[in-house]
Amino acid sequence: MIRVLTIFLLFCLSYVPCRAQLGSYSFNSNVLYNDGYGIPWNFDFPFFMDGSPFFDTSFCKGSVQLLNGKTYGGLELKLNLEQQKVIFTTSEGKAFALAQPVLRVELACNVQAKPVVFRSGFGAIDKQNEGSLYQVLDSGKVLLLKYVDIRYKDSKAYNSNDMTRSYRQLPSYYLWMPGKDMIKLPNDENELLGLLKDQRKQLTEAIDKDKLKFKKETDLIQIIKKYNSLSQTI
């Protein structure tokens, strides 16, 4: 636990300079490969796919920060949520999976949208461990994190040898809170407000005013964003 918190606190202290560093790196995927961090990856799956185990089915512009401190930008990346692997391609079109633990991944899958950030290094909870990647939905005094569990079912049509693998993506939401580490999002709104009790009155007013439903992801983000903005004014 101490090791996890130390890594996290060090990352928080370096967060702003890391953002600048990510933008200043002009490395491409070939540099990442030449540094010996790639394992060959094959996209020829022995089945048809219904749904996907990937965060996005296309390669996205992005950057990675490895646990060893090295940062690489200007990459073409895919994130396999099922295997928790980051896939990158070289200029020759060859695909590789990162062979080193990842601390942070930033993906820009839509040029008009804000880049999506994934991070690891949090305490073990449920079936996840320190290396599991979570999507950061909001950050501040607390972090709102999303973990997607991938389930699948294989099936064959009558008189056919062709197998179809149907994927389901099942999200779970967590809060990282100072002094409490990881907490799974409660099923009850009052329990959630109890965790955020130092701003409970203001949050309750905001929820009632905007008719927010904490079980809806977009509304949940608004609630935590409101909490973090209120906490900055203390």
Residue pair 49/152 in contact by the 8 Å Cβ criterion:
no
The tokens describing 162, both together, are 């062709």
The tokens describing 157, both together, are 């049509």
Mean pLDDT, residues 196-200: 94
Confidence at 111, pLDDT banded by 50, 70, 90 = confident
Confidence at 182, pLDDT banded by 50, 70, 90 = very high
pLDDT at 179: 87
pLDDT at 32: 66
pLDDT at 15: 39
The tokens describing 115, both together, are 């880049």
Would you say residue 206 has pLDDT above 60? yes
Each residue of 50-71: pLDDT tens digit?
999 999 999 999 999 998 888 9
Mean pLDDT, residues 169-195: 94
Would you say residue 8 has pLDDT above 90? no
User: Could you tell me which residues come within 8 angstroms of residue 158 by beta carbon, excluding any fewer than 6 positions away?
Assistant: none
* CA separation for the pair 133, 147 (Å, rounded): 7
* CA separation for the pair 39, 94 (Å, rounded): 11
Distance of CA 56 to the CA centre of its chain: 12
**From residue 158, how far is each of 51, 76, 154, 170 by CA, in Å?**
21, 39, 13, 29
Would you say residue 92 has pLDDT above 90? no
Would you say residue 230 has pLDDT above 50? yes
Each residue of 138-170: pLDDT tens digit?
999 999 999 999 999 999 988 888 999 999 999
CB-CB neighbours of 198 under 10 Å = 13
Residue pair 96/39 in contact by the 8 Å Cβ criterion:
yes
Residue pair 73/25 in contact by the 8 Å Cβ criterion:
yes
Would you say residue 86 has pLDDT above 50? yes
Strand ranges in the chain using DSSP code E only, listed in sequence order: 38-40, 48-50, 60-66, 71-80, 85-89, 95-98, 102-108, 116-119, 134-138, 143-156, 163-177, 181-184
Q: What percent of the chain has pLDDT over 70?
A: 83
Residue pair 164/156 in contact by the 8 Å Cβ criterion:
yes
For the chain, domain boundaries: 2-183, 186-234
Which parts of the chain fold into alpha helices (H)? 2-13, 15-24, 29-34, 189-195, 200-210, 217-232
- What is the pTM for the complete model shown? 0.84
* CA separation for the pair 133, 104 (Å, rounded): 8
